Chain A
Amino acid sequence: MANHVLAFAESRAGELRKIATEAATAARTLADAAGGEAHVLLAGAPGIAAKAEALGRFGADAVAVVEHAAFANYNPETLAATIAERVRAGGYRAVVFVGSAQGKDLAPRVAAKLGVPLAADLTTVQLAGDTLVGTHPVNTGKVIATVTLSATPAVVSLRPGAITATENARTARVENVAPVGDPSASKVRVTETIAGNTAKLDLGDAPIIVSGGRGLRAAENFKLVEDLAAAFGNAAVGATRAVTDDGWRPHSDQIGQTGRQVSPNLYVAVGISGAIQHLAGMRTSKTIVAINKDREAPIFKIADYGIVGDVLEIVPALTAAVREAKGSH
Chain B
Amino acid sequence: MKIAVCIKRVPEMDVRFKIGPSGTGVDEAGLKWDMSDFDGYAVEAALQMTEKLGTGEVVVVSLGPDAAQETLRKALSMGAARGVHLKADTIPFDNFAIAKALATELQGGGYDLILFGKMSIDSSNGAVGPMTAELLGLPCVTAASKLEVANGKGTARRELEGAAELLEFPLPAVVTIDEGVARPRYPSLKGIMAAKKKPLEVKPAQLGDVRLTVTTMALPPERPAGRILGEGVAAVPELVKLLQTEAKVL
Contact = CB atoms under 8 A, between A and B. Distances in A.
Interface residues of B, number: 83
A258 B141 contact: no
B165 A73 contact: yes
Interface residues of A, number: 96
Interface string B161-194: 1111111111001000001100000000000000
B163 A194 contact: yes
B29 interface: no
Interface string B63-103: 00000000000000000000000000000011111010000
Given A112-B134, A137-B220, A318-B236, A265 B163 contact: no
B169 A188 contact: yes
Contacts of A284: 220
Interface in A262-296: 265-266, 276, 280, 283-284, 286-290, 295
Contacts of A137: 124, 220
A219 interface: no
Interface stretch (A41-49, A168-176, A302-310): A302-310
A305 B229 contact: yes
A190 B223 contact: no
B171 to A, nearest CB: 10
A307 B161 contact: no
A252 B164 contact: yes
B219 A144 contact: yes
A258 B37 contact: yes
A111 interface: yes
A304 B247 contact: yes
Contacts of A295: 228
Contacts of A207: 249
Interface string A104-116: 1101110111011
B218 interface: yes
B47 interface: no
Contact of B227 (A286, A305, A322): A305
Interface in B112-170: 121-131, 133-135, 139-143, 145, 158-170
Contact of B127 (A111, A141, A202): A111
Contacts of B95: 108, 111, 117-118, 120
A321 interface: yes
B222 to A, nearest CB: 9
Contact of A116 (B96, B165, B216, B227): B96
A89 interface: no
A116 B232 contact: no
A147 B92 CA distance: 12
Given A144-B217, A187-B170, A321 B236 contact: yes
Contacts of B226: 288, 290, 300-306
8 contacts: A112-B135, A120-B126, A144-B220, A146-B216, A189-B169, A203-B162, A276-B13, A304-B226
Interface of B: 11, 13-14, 16-17, 19, 26, 37-38, 93-97, 99, 121-131, 133-135, 139-143, 145, 158-170, 173, 179-180, 211-220, 223-233, 235-237, 239-240, 242-244, 247, 249-250
- List 10 tightest A-B contacts by C-beta distance, closest first: A112-B134, A108-B127, A196-B162, A117-B212, A187-B139, A117-B96, A112-B131, A309-B232, A287-B247, A108-B130
